[in-house]
């Protein structure tokens, strides 16, 4: 094998490797690690948290009402709330971009941005 | 420097550039680039979603495609403006300055005809149609009965220890004031009059769906495409996703304790709507029994055969009315009703999770 052949092979391998690095970089950027949990209260931003760090956060409203947000293993749920209907507490945990848990009585919306994309466009409920 | 060195240097530089290029290419290909259907248009359309909770006492979600966030926000503002109009017109609990709405009609029951916007007359006429079509299983003139349940439900969910059921006697008395023929519409004069002073309109079974359809019709006429609107779980679509594939809709699992957030997914084509009625969201509990907000006009008590009923059809107002109606029917009645409407499909979900589908539901 000539020296140039070696250079060619190594070059191709390096290029393929670089391509994979780029692709992976995009994947990481868009699946998980960068995902943020956003909380708004009455339309105003309340807080933003990483989905990859487990935590429990009490969303406290000025009037004393609250929702307890739980982030665990990349999933987000409401473990406890002061509202009457408890729809937020009963809501299944969320994980994908665009999914939301809403507490209408407390006007709290918990959402996910920059997370994994799901194939669901809409959620038909009551 | 000799020629060979220069050549090597050029090759090295090119090689480094190629690696950088490859990283970018990899990054770029990883992106899900959505192409507009119109191949002549070179502009790249992106997917956007948003939601708000200040209209129709529920959550509105919008999914659309636009060149940039600004374009999308413009469309959202447009949609919101339209929704607010209907929210105010179809409200039965609140007054709005300078507007006669359904509450105004109720407040003037037995007193005087109320001049209202044609959009309100349209809804009331549509609701009357739905009454006849569903054999009275959807009745907007049932407000007097629904009011009683509403009061008990509010009190019961506020103070679960003291939760109790309304007296059948009171319900029966209220039910004497639910004759749809006492809703007098005068198209020419532009008025609505409730002949029976004790009658109250409650458009909970038609208003949201009808408004959703009107907004979608308007947006379609304005040239909007590739759009999904969810009004408190009433889903309605224009066109498909920008890449031509169907919108994929998940239907909520009525069993809220389950880890599975949804029990079914369906694809919808241009103009199709999905609406569910169920006992899993608005209800209260008396002696360990769940009493939901959908009241059977025959028994005057909450229907409880199904955990949920979902309807797919091409009109959001009909989808809304039919889901309530079919929820109020036995499976046999509902099946006959759905089968007699060629463009209506349904899924019944029993409390044990059993699902039954009409012929074309999963197509």
ipTM of this model?
A: 0.78
pLDDT cut 70: percent of chain B above it = 90
In a domain, A120, yes or no: no
In a domain, A102, yes or no: yes
Same domain? A20 vs A41: no
Q: What is the pTM of this model?
A: 0.81
In a domain, A66, yes or no: yes
Same domain? A53 vs A18: no
Q: Which residue of B has its CA nearest to A100?
A: B51
Same domain? B50 vs B15: no
Same domain? B284 vs B315: yes
pLDDT cut 90: percent of chain B above it = 79
Q: Which residue of A has its CA nearest to B284?
A: A85
Q: What is the pLDDT of residues A3-52, one digit of tens each?
A: 888 888 888 888 888 888 877 666 555 555 689 999 999 989 999 999 99
The whole-angstrom separation of Cα B258 and Cα A91 is: 9
For residue B47, which phi and psi values (nearest 5 degrees)?
Answer: -85, 135
CB–CB of B262 and A90 under 8 A?
Answer: no
Query: What is the tally of structural domains in chain B?
Result: 2
User: What pLDDT score was predicted for residue A43?
Assistant: 87
The whole-angstrom separation of Cα B153 and Cα B138 is: 20
The whole-angstrom separation of Cα A126 and Cα B18 is: 54
CB–CB of A123 and B233 under 8 A?
Answer: yes
CB–CB of B51 and A100 under 8 A?
Answer: yes
User: What pLDDT score was predicted for residue B2?
Assistant: 65
In a domain, A13, yes or no: yes
Same domain? A17 vs A44: no
Q: What is the pLDDT of residues B113-140, one digit of tens each?
A: 999 999 999 999 999 999 999 999 999 9
Mean pLDDT of B3-21: 70
CA dihedral of residues B303, B308, B313, B316 (deg, nearest 10): 70
Considering CB atoms only, which of A11, A92, A120 is closest to B265?
A: A120
Q: Which residue of A has its CA nearest to B247?
A: A121
A chain contacts of residue B233, beta-carbon cutoff 8 Å:
123-126
In a domain, B253, yes or no: yes
User: What pLDDT score was predicted for residue B36?
Assistant: 42
In a domain, B205, yes or no: no
Residue B319 belongs to domain with CATH number: 3.10.520.10
Query: What is the tally of structural domains in chain A?
Result: 2
Q: Which residue of A has its CA nearest to B235?
A: A124
Output the CA–CA distances (angstroms, integers) from residue A113 to A9, A34, A38, B228, B252, in the order listed.
Answer: 41, 9, 7, 19, 21
Considering CB atoms only, which of B157, B230, B253 is closest to A122?
A: B230
In a domain, A122, yes or no: no
Same domain? B20 vs B53: no
The whole-angstrom separation of Cα A94 and Cα A69 is: 12
Strand arrangement, sheet containing A108-113: A44-50, A36-41, A108-113, A100-103
Q: What is the pLDDT of residues B170-222, one digit of tens each?
A: 999 999 999 999 999 999 999 999 999 999 999 999 999 999 999 999 999 99
pLDDT for B32 beyond 60: no
Confidence of residue B21 (pLDDT cuts 50, 70, 90): low
Of B203, B134, B135, whose CA–CA distance to B344 is shortest?
B134
The whole-angstrom separation of Cα B234 and Cα B275 is: 5
In a domain, B302, yes or no: yes
Confidence of residue A126 (pLDDT cuts 50, 70, 90): confident
CB–CB of A126 and B27 under 8 A?
Answer: no
CB–CB of A124 and B19 under 8 A?
Answer: no
**Residues in CB range of A118: below 8 A, 6 or more apart:** A96, A97, A98, A99
A chain contacts of residue B65, beta-carbon cutoff 8 Å:
none
Task: Decide: helix, strand or coil at residue B260.
Answer: coil
B chain contacts of residue A14, beta-carbon cutoff 8 Å:
19
Neighbours of A48 (CB within 10 A): 12
Q: What is the pLDDT of residues A73-118, one digit of tens each?
A: 999 999 999 998 888 998 889 999 888 999 999 999 999 999 998 8
User: What pLDDT score was predicted for residue A58?
Assistant: 96
In a domain, B293, yes or no: yes
Mean pLDDT of B225-253: 95
Q: Which DSSP string do the residues of A11-52 spell out, in sequence order? A: HHHHHHHHHHHHHHHHHHHHSSTT-EEEEEETTEEEEEEETT
Same domain? A48 vs A90: yes
Confidence of residue B37 (pLDDT cuts 50, 70, 90): very low
Q: What would the two tokens of residue B160 be? A: 């679960």
Exposed/middle/buried for B222, CB within 10 Å: 0-12, 13-18, 19+? exposed
Residue A108 belongs to domain with CATH number: 2.60.320.10
Output the CA–CA distances (angstroms, integers) from residue B93 to B83, B157, B192, B227, B326, in the order listed.
Answer: 17, 19, 17, 31, 26
The whole-angstrom separation of Cα B117 and Cα A65 is: 39
In a domain, B257, yes or no: yes
Residues in chain A, total: 126
B152 CA: distance to closest CA in chain A (Å): 14
In a domain, A19, yes or no: yes
Of B117, B118, B119, B127, whose CA–CA distance to B183 is shortest?
B127
Q: What would the two tokens of residue A41 be? A: 């209260």
- State the helix-helix crossing angle for B316-327 and B331-339, rounded to 10 degrees: 150
CB–CB of A43 and B234 under 8 A?
Answer: no
In a domain, B329, yes or no: yes
Task: Find the distance separating the first CA and the last CA of chain B, reported in whole Å.
Answer: 72
Interface of A with B (CB under 8 A): 11, 14-16, 18-27, 30, 43, 84-85, 87, 90-94, 98, 100, 102, 104, 107, 109, 111, 117, 119-126
CB–CB of A22 and B27 under 8 A?
Answer: yes
Domain residues for the domain of B13 are 1-31
Q: Among A46-50, B223-227, B258-262, which is the least confidently predicted range? A: B258-262
The whole-angstrom separation of Cα B136 and Cα B337 is: 13
A57 CA: distance to closest CA in chain B (Å): 22
In a domain, B233, yes or no: yes
Task: Decide: helix, strand or coil at residue B307.
Answer: coil
The whole-angstrom separation of Cα A97 and Cα A88 is: 18
Considering CB atoms only, which of B51, B63, B310 is closest to A109?
A: B51
Q: What would the two tokens of residue A70 be? A: 């739980």
**Residues in CB range of B159: below 8 A, 6 or more apart:** none
In a domain, A41, yes or no: yes
User: What pLDDT score was predicted for residue B157?
Assistant: 86
Considering CB atoms only, which of A15, A104, A124 is closest to B233?
A: A124
A chain contacts of residue B20, beta-carbon cutoff 8 Å:
18
Pairing between β-strand B273-278 and β-strand B345-349 as defined by DSSP bridges: unpaired
Same domain? A62 vs A25: no
Mean pLDDT of B283-301: 94
Same domain? A4 vs A44: no
In a domain, A109, yes or no: yes
* Angle subtended at Cα B285 by Cα B281 and Cα B291, rounded to the nearest 5 degrees: 65
User: What pLDDT score was predicted for residue B22?
Assistant: 64
Domain residues for the domain of A62 are 36-113
In a domain, B153, yes or no: no
Query: Which of B21, B22, B307 best tests the A interface by mutation, with the highest count of A CBs <10 A?
Result: B22
The whole-angstrom separation of Cα A123 and Cα B51 is: 12
Helix then strand count (H, E) for chain A reads: 2, 8
């Amino acid at each position: 094998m000539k020296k140039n052949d070696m250079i060619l092979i190594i070059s191709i391998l390096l290029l393929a490797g670089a391509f994979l690095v780029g692709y992976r970089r995009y994947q990481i950027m868009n699946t998980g690690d960068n995902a943020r949990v956003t909380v708004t209260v009455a339309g105003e931003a309340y807080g933003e948290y990483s989905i990859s760090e487990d935590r429990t956060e009490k969303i406290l409203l000025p009037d004393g009402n609250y929702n307890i947000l739980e982030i665990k293993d990349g999933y987000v749920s409401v473990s406890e709330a002061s509202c009457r209907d408890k729809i937020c507490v009963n809501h299944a945990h969320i994980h994908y971009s665009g999914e939301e848990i809403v507490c209408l009585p407390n006007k709290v919306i918990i959402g996910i941005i920059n997370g994994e994309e799901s194939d669901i466009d809409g959620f038909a409920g009551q | 420097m000799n020629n060979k060195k220069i050549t090597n240097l050029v090759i090295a530089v090119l090689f480094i550039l190629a690696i950088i290029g490859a990283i970018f290419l990899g990054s770029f290909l990883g992106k899900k680039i959505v192409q507009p259907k119109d191949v002549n248009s070179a502009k790249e359309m992106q997917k956007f979603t948003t939601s708000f909770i200040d209209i129709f006492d529920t959550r509105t979600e919008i999914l659309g495609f636009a060149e940039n966030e600004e374009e999308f926000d413009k469309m959202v503002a447009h949609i919101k403006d339209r929704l607010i109009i209907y929210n105010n017109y179809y409200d039965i609990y609140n007054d709005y300055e300078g507007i006669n709405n359904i509450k105004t009609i109720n407040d003037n029951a037995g007193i005087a005809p109320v001049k209202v916007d044609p959009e309100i007359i349209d809804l009331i006429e549509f609701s009357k149609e739905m009454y006849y079509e569903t054999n009275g299983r959807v009745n907007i003139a049932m407000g007097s009965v629904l009011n009683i349940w509403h009061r008990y439900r509010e009190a019961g969910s506020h103070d679960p220890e003291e939760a109790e059921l309304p007296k059948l006697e009171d319900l029966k008395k209220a039910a004497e004031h639910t004759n749809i023929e006492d809703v007098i519409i005068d198209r020419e004069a532009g008025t609505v009059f409730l002949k029976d002073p004790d009658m109250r309109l409650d458009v909970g079974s038609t208003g949201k769906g009808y408004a959703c359809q009107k907004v979608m019709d308007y947006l379609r006429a304005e040239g909007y495409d590739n759009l999904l609107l969810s009004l408190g779980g009433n889903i309605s679509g224009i066109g498909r996703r920008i890449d031509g594939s169907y919108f994929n809709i998940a239907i909520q699992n009525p069993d809220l304790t389950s880890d599975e957030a949804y029990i079914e997914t369906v694809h919808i084509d241009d103009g199709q709507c999905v609406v569910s009625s169920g006992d899993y969201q608005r209800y209260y509990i008396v002696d360990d029994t769940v009493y939901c907000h959908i009241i059977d006009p025959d028994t005057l008590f909450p229907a409880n055969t199904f955990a949920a009923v979902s309807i797919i059809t091409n009109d959001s107002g009909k989808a809304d009315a039919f889901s309530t109606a079919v929820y109020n029917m036995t499976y046999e009645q509902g099946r006959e009703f759905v089968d007699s409407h060629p463009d209506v499909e349904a899924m019944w979900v029993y409390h044990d999770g059993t699902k039954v589908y009409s012929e074309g539901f999963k197509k």
